[in-house]
Amino acid sequence: METEMKPSYKPGLTERLLVSLFHFINRLIPWHKLPSIVGALNLDALRVELRQYNLHDGYPSGAAQGNHTTDPMTDQRFEYARNSDGKFNSTEMPLMGCTGQRFGRNFPRGLTIKPTEDELWNPNPRMLSERFMARKSFVPATTLNLLAAAWIQFQTHDWFFHESSDENYNIPLPKGDKWPHGKMELPRTKPDEVLSQTDVQCPGYKNINTAWWDSSQIYGSNEAMTESLRNMHSDGKLTLTKDGREQFLPRDPDGNPLTGFNNNWWIGMEMLHTLFALEHNAVCDMLRRAYPTWTGDQIFDKARLVNCALMAKIHTVEWTPAILAHPTLKLAMNANWWGLVGESLTKMLGRISKTSEIISGIPGSGVDQSGVPYSLTEEFESVYRMHSLIPDAIAFFDARDGAHMSTVPVEEMLFKNAQEPLDRGLSFADAFYSFGINYPGAITNSNYPNFLRNLTTPDGIHRDMGTVDLLRDRERGVPRYNQFRRLLRMSAPKTFEELTGGNKALARELSDAYNGDVELVDTLVGSHSEPIPAGFGFSDTAFRIFILMASRRLKSDRFIAGQWNADTYTKEGLDWVQNNGMKDVLSRHFPELRSVLKSSKNPFAPWNKMPKSTVYDGIETNAPK
């Protein structure tokens, strides 16, 4: 069984020299304290090394990706269009990244083995949730707005979702626990079939979403669902219903939204799913004007490509620099899309380098799987556990003049109730303006909203999401914090005080909870406890997985790194992606927001407030004072 960090990617000479140089520099100065351009090169060196050692297939044989014989492309439409099942993104490995394929790993499978029962419950995850996750008072992330919190959930719903087993955990409750339901049961994650002995020690788990950046949360992860969401007229549009001036997602008879992925629904998902369904339809209108003889399928396929690429661009050059508000990151993420030559020159001259992602960005640089078939990883899902971002309540304001309208607890806007504020007179423009000026919670200890720690989901299960997050990492073999860092070639703290950066009170709390054994600290708890680089919204530990996987989602995708051309997207489609951002999308569909967006910088950072909103600071409770 694989236990060694064997290279999967073979860097060139220049890359190897770059890695060696920064190994030396980082002994003295961490990447985030270097000048921005040098820091960006440092991040590139880190990414090279991560590609070498931190990509591992979820399958024991590596031969589960299909081929031309087992999975032929019988419909040539998918040479230039995304398949909703995720098939045929790679024509050589047609099943790679499709729905039902396993999650990969960022560490060797022999080091991510299934825990014993003692390991699973040591220390008790519910006790840790009570001590290190329960929100005592709201800690805001004042460099972000609530739209940033909604956005990342919107994106993760595109990327990953595990299958549940019919078997349950009966989570042991600590002595004296006041859990109101008497017991806490949770479905186990369903393991994939055993293909070899390695799967007994390290089970594989299927991703029932597609792993591609293909907006499956809107379009669905299978072709049948996609067709059900289209109006099937010749315009290629997604179905929306109209009520007065607003358009809404349609509902099923039980009141659930009809969209690609509607689990874990709340008003933030209602807003973003509707917004990008509207954007898809706007692209359809543009394409119909440009290509009046096209069929509905032709228009739909191109509009989906454009909409998906636009979301990938927004995430890369807008959302990421907001949550990781460090000048080096802004430069590096812009370089991921535009290259170091920058946006202006790329728009003027096109790609200056045909293949260099550093010089001219990843789109169009050529597909490269870095020696391992593409998948998302268990560790990637782990570092995106960001429930702390959700506030307790949202203050809503009028988008026309900024006047306060109401303050509503988030728990009253979940699942089937997500649309209720909109039914009561709140407009989408009002909602987006409000999300633009409300703060999310900081990703830190003691900041999980308490309604998520006593949540009853539509399936009738009562769960504490803090407990669930810890249990899922342990169950799926995600290493504990110190081992996680070692496997990323980061230093592992020898003491709790070293882990917390000198916070003695927190160190004592952690030591008491983990019985004095720093090796037992869970990755999530450790990441919430470590000091973070200036401007960062989450830990440097989690960020190492992000460096690797953020670019991999682009570099592995045929429709982004490969066929980034007018034949695939149309000239008009490419122009739409390259010349639009989140501000443009919001302004196009909600003109009331144009003036406030024009005066604001990053759309995921706090917007400028209108005068009538300035009396509400939202800093402590996200409610007006």
Indicate which residues carry an active-site annotation.
Answer: 157
Cα 364 to Cα 351: distance, rounded to the nearest angstrom: 8
Angstrom distances, CA of residue 594 to CA of 193, 245, 400, 429, 587: 52, 18, 11, 10, 5
Helix axes 267-290, 146-159, angle to 10 degrees: 70
Residues with Cβ within 8 Å of residue 47, at least 6 apart in sequence:
547, 548, 551
Q: What does the DSSP 8-state code read for residue 591?
A: G
Please give the single-letter amino acid code of residue 519: E
Neighbours of 385 (CB within 10 A): 22
- Return the ∠ at Cα 139 (arms to 135 and 141), rounded to 5°: 135
Neighbours of 165 (CB within 10 A): 12
Neighbours of 168 (CB within 10 A): 13
Cα 605 to Cα 321: distance, rounded to the nearest angstrom: 9
SS3 186: strand
Q: Provide the Cα torsion 247, 252, 254, 260; round to 10°.
A: -90
Binding residues: 387
SS3 455: strand
Token pair 């032929």 is at which residue?
72
Please give the single-letter amino acid code of residue 247: Q
The alpha carbon of 397 is separated from its chain's Cα centroid by a whole number of angstroms, namely 28
Binding residues for heme b: 387
Angstrom distances, CA of residue 333 to CA of 321, 340, 349: 7, 10, 20
Token pair 């309208």 is at which residue?
405
Q: What are the tokens at 69?
A: 């014989």
Question: Using an 8 Å Cβ cutoff, are 193 and 237 in contact?
Answer: no
Cα 565 to Cα 554: distance, rounded to the nearest angstrom: 15
Question: Using an 8 Å Cβ cutoff, are 465 and 164 in contact?
Answer: no
Helix axes 267-290, 428-437, angle to 10 degrees: 120
